[in-house]
């Protein structure tokens, strides 16, 4: 039952691989292109652990490379695929949309094509347990008003090149179920946070800027609302959908935690003030700087998770207060990882994007 995890060196992917190797018995093959958002260091603890290293295979490669995908499927006898690999930063998609179309849409298409070819070579018993789980985002639904939540039946209304490319990949995955009988599942998650998240995203950027005494840039009035989900809860939800989900169905995954961006930033400031020492600027709230809003900035997201809870029995187990404290403390205790990311391997203003954080994080 070896599982192939695309994008497994990214934020959510590396957390998923770690949880899988702790909680499951089967082996994992990670396929990751190691772009700016993929970091092999996030997997190194697993490769050095006697209990996990023999069950983990890492392959540097691109999901657009059909020959590489074909080789991995056949060589490792893959029986499940969890597809995280994606370009996910909204600002980057505004500045350079082509790579988002290439990775999120074309890459998913090529992965599906090779999976379809491989699936039809399997024996009937293997076909019964084969799964292709596509990890997507709440951003495909567009923007909510002050009330209501996204349901699995909410019409898609993407507002950025990023969300449009993810919406297109969702449609492709769904089409391969109905047209070719490929056993697929789709999950749409809300904003993730936790260890190993890259510093262009809202929470880690704010933590690191607090530590460095740099401005904390907040888009617009800071009142954009997101539903926040601790990454470990997200990974557990994906494992639940793999085991129990109905083929061809989509499942919304959220944290039942709606918060305004400005409240997130102020919470981080208070925690950094509490746990960090020798801060350049204190209290950290002095660093908050309101900046011009970005184009097409969705006002509010909120996920209805009654389907995954009612049908599969999953619900988030980590409160935001617990999760954000764990997250801040992790970044404070792992400065070496952060320094490696921010000093060349990863750059917060790479490719000409703005220094403002994205409050939106899907599956990478």
pLDDT in tens, 280-322: 999 999 999 999 987 878 889 999 999 999 999 999 999 999 9
Query: What strands lie across the sheet with 225-230, from one edge to the other?
Result: 191-193, 225-230, 258-260
pLDDT value, residue 295: 80
Please indicate whether residue 162 is annotated as part of the active site: yes
In this structure, what are the phi and psi dihedrals at residue 159, rounded to the nearest 5 degrees? -115, -5
Mean pLDDT by 10 residues, the chain (364 residues): 95 97 96 88 90 93 97 97 90 88 96 98 96 97 92 95 96 98 98 91 95 95 94 98 98 96 97 96 97 84 96 97 98 89 50 42 42
pTM: 0.92
Please tell me the predicted confidence (pLDDT) of residue 344.
Answer: 53
Question: Is 138 a residue of the active site?
Answer: yes
- How far apart (Å, rounded) are the C-alpha atoms in residues 99 and 57? 27
Whether 133 contacts 79, CB under 8 Å: no
pLDDT of residue 352: 34
Cis (ω within 30 of 0) for the bond into 308?
no
C-alpha pair distances (Å), 186 with each of 54, 173, 175, 316, 361: 29, 8, 12, 18, 17
- Could you tell me the two tokens for 244? 């129990």
User: Residue 91 catalytic?
Assistant: no
Among the listed residues 118, 162, 176, 219, the single catalytic one is 162
190: nearest Cα among 245, 154, 152, 234: 234
d(CA 90, CA 200): 10
Exposure letters 49-75 (e unless 16+ CB within 10 A, then b): eeebeebbbbbebbbbbeebbeebbee
Q: What is the pLDDT of residues 64-100, one digit of tens each?
A: 999 999 999 999 999 999 999 998 778 788 888 999 9
Q: Catalytic residue among 32, 62, 91, 139, which?
A: 139
Q: Minimal CA–CA distance to 222: which of 321, 138, 142, 293?
A: 293
Question: Which residue is catalytic, options 138, 227, 232, 233?
Answer: 138
Mean pLDDT of the chain: 91
- 3-class secondary structure, 18: helix
């Amino acid at each position: 039952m070896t599982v192939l995890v695309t994008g497994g060196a990214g934020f959510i992917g590396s957390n998923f691989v770690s949880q899988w190797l702790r909680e499951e018995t089967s082996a994992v093959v990670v396929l990751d292109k190691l772009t700016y958002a993929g970091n092999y260091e996030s997997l190194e603890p697993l490769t050095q652990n006697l209990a996990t290293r023999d069950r983990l295979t890492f392959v540097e490669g691109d999901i657009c490379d059909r020959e590489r995908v074909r080789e991995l499927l056949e060589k490792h006898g893959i029986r499940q695929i969890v597809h995280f690999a994606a370009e996910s930063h909204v600002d980057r998609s505004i500045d350079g949309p082509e790579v988002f179309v290439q990775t999120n849409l074309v890459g998913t298409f090529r992965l599906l094509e090779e999976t379809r070819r491989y699936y039809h070579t399997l024996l009937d018993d293997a076909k019964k347990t084969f799964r292709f789980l596509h990890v997507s985002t709440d951003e495909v639904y567009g923007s909510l008003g002050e009330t209501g939540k996204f349901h699995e039946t909410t019409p898609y209304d993407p507002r950025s090149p990023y969300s449009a490319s993810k919406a297109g990949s969702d449609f492709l995955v769904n089409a391969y179920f109905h047209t070719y009988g490929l056993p697929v599942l789709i999950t749409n998650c809300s904003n993730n946070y936790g260890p190993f998240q890259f510093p262009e995203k809202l929470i880690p950027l704010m933590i690191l800027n607090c530590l460095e005494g740099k401005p904390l840039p907040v888009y617009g009035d800071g009142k954009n609302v997101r539903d926040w989900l601790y990454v470990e809860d997200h990974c557990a939800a994906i494992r639940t959908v793999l085991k129990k989900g109905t083929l061809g169905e989509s499942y919304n995954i959220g944290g039942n935690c709606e918060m305004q961006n400005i409240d997130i930033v102020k919470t981080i400031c208070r925690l950094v003030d509490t746990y960090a020492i020798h801060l350049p600027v204190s209290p950290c709230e002095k660093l908050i700087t309101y900046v011009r809003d970005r184009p097409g900035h969705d006002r509010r997201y909120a996920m209805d998770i009654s389907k995954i809870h009612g049908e599969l029995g999953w619900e988030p187990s980590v409160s935001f207060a617990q999760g954000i404290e764990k997250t801040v403390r992790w970044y404070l205790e792992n400065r070496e990882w952060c320094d490696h990311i921010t000093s060349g391997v990863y750059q917060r203003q790479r490719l000409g994007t703005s220094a403002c954080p994205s409050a939106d994080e899907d599956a990478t």
